[in-house]
Amino acid sequence: MVQIAPSMLSADFLNLGKDVDMVNSCADLFHLDIMDGTFVPNISYGFPVVEAIASMAKIPMDAHLMIVHPEKYVKRFADAGVRMLSFHLEAVENPAPVIDMIKDCGMVPGLAINPDIPVEKLYPYISSCGYLLIMSVFAGFGGQKFIEDTYSRVKSLKAEIVRHGADCLIEVDGGVSPKNSAALAEAGADILVAGSSVFRSSDPAAVVSAMRLLR
């Protein structure tokens, strides 16, 4: 069964506690999008919001760094209680030391790529990462349209993970909804991030259940 990670970027920040409760009660992970206005042309939120969510979170937090110099902030995310921490391959010269730093801080390392980066670029990191994040929209904004090419990218990555006999999960992020969740799970996705499809629904828990293929 796939895990569902609602992206808190689409939450109601004036009623954040209510949305945190909702996610606690129906989902598997909190997905926290951190944007710096440099790696991506948008700024999201920072530690005060992450810490506020952490104070109420009953399920693990998965932070997605869309920032330059991710290595500068690894320890602070660990201290904030983040369990899974991903950063972008495109944002660093050499991902290996950052992956090690994340592990040394007791978190599960993830490596992310935008839709224009060949999926093969992730292959060298299959054994060292706990998960690999395939963006199904260009990082930077919630509410964008899902890129259909994602299915074949997920399939290729899954085949390579199986070939390695590795214990590495595939996370898909961007434009995910009950319309494409089953096909993504079929292609090999293990974790689905969903922002607008969950938070814009009048029944978010039902959307989460539908995506998780719950009976």
Active site members: 33, 173
* Burial of 16 (C-beta count, 10 Å sphere; 0-12/13-18/19+): middle
Distances (CA, A) of 159 to 148, 191, 209: 18, 16, 27
Where does this chain touch ligand DX5 (CB under 6 A) — which range of 47-55, 122-130, 180-188, 189-197?
A: 189-197
Q: Which C-beta is closer to ligand DX5: that of 163 or that of 193? A: 193
* Measured distance CA(117)–CA(88) in Å, rounded: 11
DSSP state of 60: -
Could you tell which of Zn ion, ligand DX5, none binds residue 144, using a CB distance below 5 to 8 A set by kind? ligand DX5
What residue has token string 């990555």?
157
Measured torsion, CA atoms of residues 129, 121, 177, 50, in degrees rounded to the nearest 10? 50
Instruction: Give yes or no for residue 188 binding ligand DX5 (CB under 6 A).
Output: no
* Subset of residues 106 to 145 that bind Zn ion, contact rule: CB under 5 A: none
Instruction: Give yes or no for residue 110 binding ligand DX5 (CB under 6 A).
Output: no
Q: Which C-beta is closer to ligand DX5: that of 2 or that of 139? A: 139
Which of 70, 95, 175, 188 touches ligand DX5 (CB under 6 A)? 175
Q: Which residues bind ligand DX5 (CB under 6 A)?
A: 7, 9-10, 31, 33, 64, 137, 139-144, 173-176, 193-197
